[in-house]
Amino acid sequence: MIENIVIADDSSTARMIIKRCLEIAGTADANFIEAGNGEEALKIVREQPIDLIVTDLNMPVMDGRALIRHIKASPKLTQLPILVISSVGNEASREDLIEQGAFAVIGKPISPASVAVALEDIIDQDQWG
């Protein structure tokens, strides 16, 4: 079950939209924790149990790619599913993000339907052991 979700994006409007899409897609009861960049998100996941990270790629201080690298390099966090929200539309970039450790890449503009598909895949993969 997805209980704690970190949303990392430097735009408060984007975070609000992502949160709303997640709620509509079935996580309305989750606790949403917002981060303005990857460094803030990394600090959060190191301090408390998190079930899912949803991150943008382009952020100041620490971008989404660096966030993925840090999480996947940590033995305690490596199984944490990461959804990337990106305007990067080409397949090579998507495949590269998956290889780096992203669970899924959702193109912008996001929709509740695209988020629901990714959440379903995460639950089906039984990310929580």
Q: Which domains does the chain have, with CATH numbers?
A: 4-124 (3.40.50.2300)
Name the DSSP letter for residue 72: H
**For residues 6 and 126, what is the distance between their CA atoms, to the nearest angstrom?**
19
- What is the tally of helices (H) and strands (E) in the chain? 5, 5
CB atoms within 10 A of CB 97: 21
Interatomic CA distance for residues 51 and 99, integer angstroms: 20
pLDDT above 90 coverage of the chain, percent:
76
> What was the pLDDT predicted at 94?
86
Q: Quick one: average pLDDT of 31-51?
A: 97
pTM of the shown model:
0.92
Burial of 28 (0-12, 13-18, 19+ CB in 10 A): exposed
Q: How would residue 127 be classed by pLDDT, with cut points 50, 70 and 90?
A: very low
